[in-house]
Amino acid sequence: MLAVPGGHALAGRASVRLAEALDHPHVGLPPTTAVHSMLHREAAALGRSFNYRVVVSSFDAALRVVGAGLGVSVVPREVSAPHTLDGRVRLVPLNEPWAQRRFAICFRRREDLNVAAGRLVDHLCSQAAQTPGA
């Protein structure tokens, strides 16, 4: 997802391509993060680079900076929803194949899980069943 300030030009869009997002100042994560590496690889494939206004240490911090109107940021949908409640941050889907993340829960046998792990698996599976596109 591309997180943008509420009044941003991209806020009302149904989706956005990375090439369009790169036209705007970004709030980024440190170069040591996987998301930074992925985004820079995709930007390089377009012959482009990011214009960072600020680099922060977490998605939470990035969303707060976006909410303050200082830039846009690529963030996971899963951590973004609470930041959209007051309208200062809007989420615009990234229309890119690489932006669709898949998560997997891996274990050998269900019977081998302890009670807490079994409950976690049950909870995550029930949430995934209620999430469109999951």
pLDDT at residue 134 in the model: 57
The helix (H) or strand (E) run that includes residue 2 is strand 2-5
Q: Read off the pTM.
A: 0.80
Is the model's pLDDT at 97 over the cut of 60? yes
pLDDT at residue 103 in the model: 76
Segment 8-21 shows an average pLDDT of: 96
DSSP class of residue 89? E
Q: Among 40, 69, 104, 7, which Cα is nearest to 18's? A: 40
Is the model's pLDDT at 39 over the cut of 60? yes
Q: Which residues of 63-96 are buried (b: 16+ CB within 10 A; e: fewer)?
A: bbbbbeebbbbbbeeeebeebbeeebbbbbebee
Is there a contact between 92 and 16 (Cβ–Cβ < 8 Å)?
yes
DSSP class of residue 92? E
Those residues with Cβ within 8 angstroms of residue 127's Cβ, 6 or more apart along the chain or in another chain: 134
Token pair in block for residue 92: 């615009």
